[in-house]
Structure 1
Amino acid sequence: MKKINLIAAAVNTVLVTGAIGASSAFAQSTADAKPVERIQVTGSKIKRFNLTSPTPVTVISGVEMENQGITNVNDLLAEMPQATVGLSPETTTNTIYASGLNTTDLRGLGSERTLVLVNGRRFVPGSVGDTAVDLNNIPTTMIERIEIATGGAAAVYGADAVAGVVNIITKKSMDGIELDVSTVRPEQSGGEQNNFSITGGMEGDKLSFIASFNYTENKSYGKLSRDFYRNPVNSFANPANTSGDDGIPSRVVLGQPTGLAYYSEGGDFFTKDAFADNGYDNHHYTFDANGNLKPFDYGLGRIPNPGVGRDATGYFQDGQNQGDGVFGHGYKEYFQTPLDRMIASAYGTYELNDDHALTFDFTYSKTDATTESSPAFFRHTIRRDNAFIKSDMAKVMDDNGLTSVTLRQANENLWGDRAYNQEREVFRTSIGAEGILSDDWGYSAYAQFGRIEQDTLWTGEVLTQNLANSIDAVEYQGNVVCAKRNADGEVIGAISGCTPFNTMGATSATQAQLDYIATDATRFAQHDQAVFAVTLDGALFELPAGYVAAAFTAEHRRESATITPSENMQKGLIFGNSSLPMDGEIDVNELSAEISIPLLEETFLTTDLTLETAFRYMDYSVTGEDNAWKLALNWGVTDELRIRLNRSKSVRAPNLGDLFTPNSKTFSSGRADVCRADSIAESGSKYKDNVIKNCQAAGLPEGWMPSDEWLSGGSLPGYIQGNQNLENETSNDYTIGLIYTPEFVEGLDITLDYWSFEVEGAIEYFGRNSVELCYESSSLDNPFCSNVVRNKETGEIENFFTRPINAAVINKKGVDVESAYRTELFSGDLALKLTATYLIDDNSNSTGRAEDFRTDVGEIASPRWKGRFNAVYSHDDSAYVLTMNYRHATVNDNDWTIEDNNYNDIPSYTTFDFMYKTYLMDELQLRVGVNNIFDREPPRNPFTYDDGEFFDVKGRRLSLGAKYTF
């Protein structure tokens, strides 16, 4: 069986499609290129003699990642105009189960709608119950190239490829050993990165293989480590604002550090309304280190403000000089989650004979990420009969006629900060066979198994009821005990096993108190993925314009997930952490056919014209039968101009989490029950008649009012829960593209592609808002009413469910521009590449109602233009690489009016990176680079000045690397 030179394939794909991916290796790769037989390109399973892709494909070589000093695939994908960040260490600093994940998001349609493949095969999800792949598990030293096929690809690869496919092609063999070390050192402290890898292999007559070990350490850094964050851009209520229609912004910028005047370390309380005018300072008390009462110290004082709530009285003048307050500007906040990752991987091929070969691959990955947080903060009820109340506090309470006070406390010295540690282990392996059946037909088959084990540990947690018991300490029969009270609040005994605790002024706790109060929580989760697939591809018959090529695939996949929380979480004993076990499974059987039909060849205005078709039948064990299809034309108009048109239907199946998430407790406050008589009377909604009709149809009489007044401002209990009645999402996709390679400018390629996505029945989570959506609909027969539970006797809402529902519609349209130019310059080679995306439309509707329609194009997450320019000059054994990334100016909110604020506009944002690499000898390569050369900060705006999702918060940094081959 003749070997296919994949490097040559990658280079030629770049030449034909105008895709990004040329590098300093350009000249060497083209010189070493060998004859290519049939090549499979991303977006199709048909191996082809030519490399013209039927769908837009962008190619990024592994060398380009080296040129950027990048050791994580997602760091590069996040800079591509077609993609954005799904999750990253910069966006998961306050996320529990997703801490440290790195996922990509094509077109901004969501990571769950981007299918990531490795060598054309699915990879185990990065998080239990999800489908998005954690790119932390892909070793960059093994990457040959990355192919990004935007546009619906579900007909070829199956569900979830709505936005497109990221296909990571790994190296298949190597002859020798390669050591690589690198480090990234930011100019400001924190965020350092260290990398080490060893890769080796051999190329024999029968056996060829490659194996690698990669280790990366990403250190965290606090927000206060960056100078731009220490000089913030905050906003507050505008004293000049008089009404909602006076043309004066309600909020204005105030550029100074601030701190919240809430929850002092030793506890604090008020003897009157915290937000009352006059005398506020004189009635706010806290404790000194000895537990004695003292007036609360505001440092430089509070910000005078006409606002309400925290705006009115809750902020210190200076977050760094805040007196007795705890939450200063940036207190316990981080820009990046610390992440350690280790990956061992291997790929091998054993040729049985000239026509058949066996393949195997293996990946083991372990990542460890810790999300740090502030200490747990509480509101304690301190009764007048508390045994630890001193005389000074007793006098204050008696003088004010108080039988109890609410003590607020956040003490990191009692049981430490809260931290969420996430340890993930991924194991994936496959064995396969590929070969030639005849002169016209070949095959490939594989069996694959993957598993992720995800252990979560919460530290610094508190058993809320035990804490309440220990703080309610009284003197009983000559001893200080935890009070056991009757329904009237009278002490009738002591709680057995409880250790009393004096929290007033406390800065530490005894071991006995910690044993009773403090706790850790754990959650073990596991996700298994098994895939079996076989593909036959070849030529069916010959037409005048050429052979009709086809590929037929049969695939079976099983996904299963289990989650086992610790007992204290299952019983809801820890505040804010309640979870039940989960056990879910999905089976899917798929059959697909892809056919390429040559229609014309060498006729007027046609060098070749090919019809590309694909159809996939899917049978899911939960959502039932579905299908995806594609129709495309690949038209070579002249040797210089090619046109491609694509129309396809893609699907996204709900993941295990969407379907099987068990009940977990939540609370929500918000609008009153729309069925209340006073709500109906005051309603100005155009759906008022529907509300009246539906409320009566639900059995509520005219004039109904609830007896339970939780809806007047209290919290309504609810449950987060999966929904096994979900259906697959459907997307209608369109692509029209031009590929131009002018003969009069040698080395220039230009690609222009218009694309459009129309996603219907998109899965959206609805919770408390289901109440109004249910009764404002035309009838009670709607998907929202099942999320609302009313008492059959009283009619009052008892609880609600936050469940996913197929209710949203998403529309996106845009144009991609890609160009590559290569030429000889002086005694070297120059390669220029430009990739840009112009966003035409980005709108969505989560409910189907006209007023819920949103246009997001031009907002922060959806700029009109995104672009990336790359220039590589290679000379002898050296290369100079300059990269520019650009985001167009945006606004924060398209619905903004002058009444909102005076800071809606977000300026454009551009960063530059540089890398120099050279060979000191044939075996030793050195690299030195600077990222964010001009130390560009995020835009100085309250919405963006600390935004690490779309802007660089790490700052200028030096990149150093060395590679030795032997």
Structure 2
Amino acid sequence: MKTIRNSRLAQAVRGALLLAMLPAVALAQDEAADDLKTLDRVEVTGTRLKTAEAEGLVPVQRITRADIDRSGLTSVADIIQSLTGSGSALNTKFNSSGNFGFPPDGSGVGAGSAQADLRHLGSKRVLVLVDGIRWVNEASASGVGAATDLNTIPLAIIDRIEVLEDGASSLYGSDAIAGVINIITRRDFDGLAINAQLGQYGEGDGTTKSIDFAWGTSTERANFFLGLSYTDQDVVFSRDRAQSSFPVPGTGVAFGSSATPTGRFIFIDPNTSEVFDITPNDGANNPFFDPAQTGCTRTDDYHCFTSADRFNFSQFNLLLTPSERVGAFGQARFEFSDSVGGYAKLLWNRRQSTNQAAPEPLFLGPEAGTGNPLADNIFISALNPFNPFGFDLDSATNLILIGRRPVEGGPRVFEQEVDTWYVGAGLEGVFDAGQRTLYWDVNLAFSENKAEQTNFGSYNIRNIALALGDPAACAAVAGCTPLNIFGGPGTITPQMLAWIQPIVRDRSQNDLALVTANLSGSLFELPAGSVDFATGLEHRRLEGWYRPDALTIAGDYNGVPSLPTSGKYDVSELVVELNFPLWNNDEIGQKLDLTVAGRYSDYSTGISEVTPKYGLRFQLVEELVFRASYAEGFRAPSIGELFGSASRFDAQLDDPCSTPLLNPSLAGNCAALGVPSNYQQPNPQISITTGGNDQLDPESSRSFAAGFVWSPSFLENSSAAERVDVEVTYYRHDIEGAIQAIDAQTQLDLCVQTLDALYCDGITRAPTGGINGFNNRLTNLGTIETDGWDLDLVWVFPVTDIGQFKAAWRNTLVGDYRAVGAAGQVQPQGPGIEVVDSAIPEWTSNFSLDWSRGNWSAGWTLRHISELREQCGRAISFPVCSDPANNTNVLEATTYHDLQVAYRFKDFNDLGLAFGVNNAFDKDPPICLSCSLNGYDASTYDIPGGRFFYVRADIKF
């Protein structure tokens, strides 16, 4: 692949040369006889060729409608995330808003959305198609998304899902580095079908209700389909499960917040130079402070702050976020003649979801680390009527940190409303050129994803600063009421809240418009067979924007600040794919084919790309096919990555310079950074500033896959099996110039270890030693390399008196995963490692056994995740750290069991009833010490206490 940044003239010349190839390819004919062609040609995800041999060119996993119904799941993303080749991705088990902040790619947190990751390469490197056409990226309500929210696609409209776990930029363009998810909608459907499901966790919460209507009819020249879908998922609170009821399981409140309902106050008495780190006693709502008392032995209303005083924010968090989705999809297809047809599609989908976090903390003073000058440079007047200390608290002189959590204002509640519109239309047909038959189609599509997020429970830091300052200045502003942050719960009155607590509204939108034209068929004959081709033109325009609340733009928002983002670009592309039959001889292998594909992409941002792909398919005998492919790919920077303005995300960071030092040899380096020898990190939540970079280059990739598909004939229709299929694939992906920021904890650790400006630039510290600034901007980071194996076995047993069994065993083994920064810094991810809410298991395995006999059917599925390891961090001193000698915690291998039994009343409108339970043995996920919320990895495991029962009914008229 070559990246070209030069004159528009040169780009135009190259484009003209490639376009000139199109008529030559289309019109080149051979008078030799060709196989009979029909309008219903084979179409396979992973190739544009319409030939029967295309079926085995690339590794594609198919999820049928029956598989979806058997899963008991009500979300496309949940189904994809259960595949063995999937990686960590956002879903409704992530209570993201208010906790995750803004990720470094400018995409926002995608609160309430559900995404897909393949090969652990990230959701933004997976391309989502619907009927082969690109789907719009999400609007996250807090940024311009770079991934697709699969909740925008209702299950009712899906016929099957095809997952290509191979690089495919040469065929589909940008974003297909890790693979492609192609969702095929229902077409040929007659009658009315109703599918309803009701499910609930064994603890009586998390009730999920769904109902789908599917209607279709056909005439001689047309067919119509209408799908309606409604899903309502109720909440599960973190406090209702033992494992998630504390910040880190097994550590109590030791890792809770220092912003408490009574407040934590660290300051220097200007009269005595005594340093205080104190908190009011319980019940001391108007605490008395005696400045004559020093140390921690006190008889006034205060005591020295300890870990036992920390706040358990987990009591307010959500383990499963509520989500309500309603969607409608209509599709009409027409045959205008025997050789020309057309279609029209329309979709609307709305998601209403909610996230909740603990009451928003107020961190004030130079150790606050918020990055907001109004909070970091706070001045609290001695004249404030509630100030018990009798002197000013000034960030410039004597104030170090105040942490107060106004529980009076209630939890932070983030409500999202996300609307998706899609309209598409096209023509398709077939015509003869000589003795050849060519297939063509032209498509138009317009889609929009628009989100609004309303935030209740946050604060206006400018109004807080005014209410804590000189009462005379406060009195001069209408509505200002002096604020009491010094008393216990209940001392912040409704009048005070009315002054400091606004309603915050953020909006975001992503638009996609595209037009494509494709042509395929046969060119001419070689001795081994026909040379087939496919070619196409595509033009698409992407536009996105994010508009935070005016309060946020002004810098007055106490939460995560950000600035507006907007941008757009368009791209024109030409793709050509050719299949050359090199050998066709039963004596030495039946058939050998070479496939060559290439795509030229021209971006309005000044980037041009040429991406090739090569594939070999060798059918040794009828039952055994070997295949291999090599592809180069790319991913263009997203709108958020290119144009995203400065914003902030909050990270839980362990400061290596906090005493007691985990590595005593770093004491000299910490001193060189200006950290006092007795410094203790008061607040592990550090605000990280991030943002887009309009100088980013595209990511480039190389993908290789090789393997075989074997269907042994000696087992076919034998006493042991009706059919057996074995599929083995080796894969490798190499990404260069990966767009991301260096892991924040890694950057901080390297700064302290090396004192290198490469890592330390952008990290600033207050005179007290605490981090008060952390710049972590996007760049073309370095390389990501991963490889592994897929091993799949499907065994269909013969029909016997007790019924028929079918077994399927799918496995993914990750051999290597290595992410390296531009300067050689190794990122913490790797096989068998859990880090930053993301796991890369060395082995994931799904085994299913299905049985059917007459009207009865049943299924048993095992989902296995191999052992993982993580660093214990400062939890090393607690028993929950399984290997403290190596600062390592082991997340033991986990296996889930899902069961379902069903009966179909064939004489009563084919009524089907099914009862199932997922996680039948109530297996809790292993405890994760490094995960951000709820003590487990929500993208890898089921929720704690997660036995889920459901009943489903479907009927067709």
Instruction: With the length of structure 1 as denominator, give the TM-score of the two structures.
Output: 0.78
Return the alpha-carbon distance in structure 2 between the equivalents of residues 774 and 330 of structure 1.
31
Return the alpha-carbon distance in structure 1 between the equivalents of residues 750 and 285 of structure 2.
54
Return the alpha-carbon distance in structure 1 between the equivalents of residues 749 and 814 of structure 2.
33
Return the alpha-carbon distance in structure 2 between the equivalents of residues 806 and 404 of structure 1.
40
**How many Å apart are 1:943 and its aligned residue?**
5.1
**CA deviation profile, 1:328-359 (whole Å, cap 9, x unmatched):** 37321221221111111122201101111111
**How many Å apart are 1:111 and its aligned residue?**
0.5
Q: For residue 416 of structure 1, what is the amino acid of its counterpart? A: G
Structure 2 equivalent of residue 873 of structure 1: 851
Q: 1:935 aligns with which of 915, 918, 922?
A: 922
Return the alpha-carbon distance in structure 2 between the equivalents of residues 157 and 940 of structure 1.
40
Return 5+ residue gaps in structure 2 as ranges: 1-36, 102-108, 291-295, 298-302, 365-378, 658-665, 717-722, 765-770, 877-881
Structure 1 equivalent of residue 449 of structure 2: 452
**How many Å apart are 1:888 and its aligned residue?**
1.4
Report the CA distance shift for 1:813/1:202 in structure 2 as closer, same or farther (over 3 A).
Answer: same
Matched, 1:558 2:541: yes
**How many Å apart are 1:473 and its aligned residue?**
5.6
Structure 2 equivalent of residue 409 of structure 1: 404
3-state SS of the aligned residue for 1:757? strand
Q: 1:916 aligns with which of 890, 901, 907?
A: 901
On the 8 A contact 1:118/1:169 being kept in 2, the answer is yes
**CA deviation profile, 1:690-739 (whole Å, cap 9, x unmatched):** xxxxxxxxxxxxxx999xxxx99999998532111111111111111111
3-state SS of the aligned residue for 1:189? coil
Structure 2 equivalent of residue 265 of structure 1: 261
Report the CA distance shift for 1:408/1:717 in structure 2 as closer, same or farther (over 3 A).
Answer: closer
Matches within 5 A, 1:511-550: 512-550=495-533
Return the alpha-carbon distance in structure 2 between the equivalents of residues 332 and 868 of structure 1.
34
Structure 2 equivalent of residue 825 of structure 1: 799
Return the alpha-carbon distance in structure 2 between the equivalents of residues 510 and 854 of structure 1.
46
On the 8 A contact 2:313/2:358 being kept in 1, the answer is no
**CA deviation profile, 1:412-455 (whole Å, cap 9, x unmatched):** 22x32212222111101100011112251010110000001111
Matched, 1:172 2:187: yes
Report the CA distance shift for 1:578/1:544 in structure 2 as closer, same or farther (over 3 A).
Answer: same
Report the CA distance shift for 1:411/1:834 in structure 2 as closer, same or farther (over 3 A).
Answer: same
Report the CA distance shift for 1:714/1:805 in structure 2 as closer, same or farther (over 3 A).
Answer: farther
3-state SS of the aligned residue for 1:745? coil
Which range moved further: 650-659 or 802-811?
Answer: 802-811
Matches within 5 A, 1:286-685: 286=281, 288=283, 291=286, 293=288, 314-316=306-308, 327-328=311-312, 330-379=314-363, 383-388=381-386, 393=388, 408-413=403-408, 415-438=409-432, 439-472=436-469, 474=471, 481-482=472-473, 494-495=476-477, 498-503=480-485, 504-505=487-488, 507=490, 512-664=495-647
On the 8 A contact 1:287/1:294 being kept in 2, the answer is no
Return the alpha-carbon distance in structure 2 between the equivalents of residues 363 and 110 of structure 1.
27
Structure 2 equivalent of residue 957 of structure 1: 948
On the 8 A contact 2:418/2:451 being kept in 1, the answer is yes
**How many Å apart are 1:270 and its aligned residue?**
6.6
Return the alpha-carbon distance in structure 1 between the equivalents of residues 585 and 566 of structure 2.
59
**CA deviation profile, 1:165-207 (whole Å, cap 9, x unmatched):** 1111111132111111101111013222111111111111122
On the 8 A contact 2:406/2:492 being kept in 1, the answer is no
Structure 2 equivalent of residue 814 of structure 1: 788
**How many Å apart are 1:514 and its aligned residue?**
3.5
**CA deviation profile, 1:620-655 (whole Å, cap 9, x unmatched):** 111510111111110001122211011110111111
Return the alpha-carbon distance in structure 1 between the equivalents of residues 550 and 247 of structure 2.
43
Structure 2 equivalent of residue 240 of structure 1: none
**How many Å apart are 1:228 and its aligned residue?**
4.0
**CA deviation profile, 1:892-911 (whole Å, cap 9, x unmatched):** 25999976656532221101
**How many Å apart are 1:841 and its aligned residue?**
0.8
Q: For residue 846 of structure 1, what is the amino acid of its counterpart? A: G
On the 8 A contact 2:167/2:631 being kept in 1, the answer is yes
Q: 1:837 aligns with which of 782, 793, 812?
A: 812
**CA deviation profile, 1:7-27 (whole Å, cap 9, x unmatched):** xxxxxxxxxxxxxxxxxxxxx
Report the CA distance shift for 1:647/1:500 in structure 2 as closer, same or farther (over 3 A).
Answer: same
Which range moved further: 378-387 or 356-365?
Answer: 378-387
3-state SS of the aligned residue for 1:65? helix
Return the alpha-carbon distance in structure 1 between the equivalents of residues 531 and 462 of structure 2.
72
**CA deviation profile, 1:555-574 (whole Å, cap 9, x unmatched):** 00100012222221111111
On the 8 A contact 1:821/1:833 being kept in 2, the answer is yes
Which range moved further: 61-70 or 950-959?
Answer: 950-959
Return the alpha-carbon distance in structure 2 between the equivalents of residues 774 and 621 of structure 1.
38
**CA deviation profile, 1:883-937 (whole Å, cap 9, x unmatched):** 1111112222599997665653222110110111111234311110011111111
Structure 2 equivalent of residue 490 of structure 1: none
Return the alpha-carbon distance in structure 2 between the equivalents of residues 798 and 331 of structure 1.
28
Matches within 5 A, 1:44-193: 44-50=47-53, 52-93=55-96, 94-95=99-100, 97-127=109-139, 129-193=144-208
Greater relative contact order (Cα 8 A, min sep 6): structure 1 or 2? 2
**How many Å apart are 1:549 and its aligned residue?**
0.6
Report the CA distance shift for 1:191/1:470 in structure 2 as closer, same or farther (over 3 A).
Answer: same
On the 8 A contact 1:173/1:348 being kept in 2, the answer is no
On the 8 A contact 1:45/1:551 being kept in 2, the answer is yes
Structure 2 equivalent of residue 249 of structure 1: none
Return the alpha-carbon distance in structure 2 between the equivalents of residues 109 and 621 of structure 1.
26
Return the alpha-carbon distance in structure 1 between the equivalents of residues 259 and 266 of structure 2.
12
Report the CA distance shift for 1:718/1:396 in structure 2 as closer, same or farther (over 3 A).
Answer: closer
Report the CA distance shift for 1:855/1:521 in structure 2 as closer, same or farther (over 3 A).
Answer: closer
Q: For residue 752 of structure 1, what is the amino acid of its counterpart? A: V
Structure 1 equivalent of residue 234 of structure 2: 219
**CA deviation profile, 1:826-863 (whole Å, cap 9, x unmatched):** 243221111101111111102242x5365611223122
Matches within 5 A, 1:733-772: 733-746=703-716, 747-766=723-742
3-state SS of the aligned residue for 2:328? strand
**CA deviation profile, 1:470-504 (whole Å, cap 9, x unmatched):** 23364xxxxxx446xxxxxxxxx955653334443
3-state SS of the aligned residue for 1:66? helix
On the 8 A contact 2:380/2:392 being kept in 1, the answer is no
Return the alpha-carbon distance in structure 1 between the equivalents of residues 147 and 819 of structure 2.
22
Structure 1 equivalent of residue 9 of structure 2: none
**How many Å apart are 1:404 and its aligned residue?**
8.4
Return 5+ residue gaps in structure 1 as ranges: 1-33, 235-253, 296-300, 303-309, 317-324, 475-480, 484-492, 674-681, 686-703, 791-796
Report the CA distance shift for 1:406/1:740 in structure 2 as closer, same or farther (over 3 A).
Answer: closer
Structure 2 equivalent of residue 11 of structure 1: none
**How many Å apart are 1:56 and its aligned residue?**
0.8
Return the alpha-carbon distance in structure 2 between the equivalents of residues 461 and 507 of structure 1.
17
On the 8 A contact 1:771/1:788 being kept in 2, the answer is no
3-state SS of the aligned residue for 1:824? coil
Return the alpha-carbon distance in structure 1 between the equivalents of residues 121 and 847 of structure 2.
24
Report the CA distance shift for 1:516/1:330 in structure 2 as closer, same or farther (over 3 A).
Answer: closer
Instruction: With the length of structure 2 as denominator, give the TM-score of the two structures.
Output: 0.79
Structure 2 equivalent of residue 241 of structure 1: none
What is the total number of aligned residue pairs between the two structures?
828
Structure 1 equivalent of residue 46 of structure 2: 43
- Percent identity (aligned): 26
Which range moved further: 458-467 or 590-599?
Answer: 458-467
Return the alpha-carbon distance in structure 2 between the equivalents of residues 656 and 36 of structure 1.
39
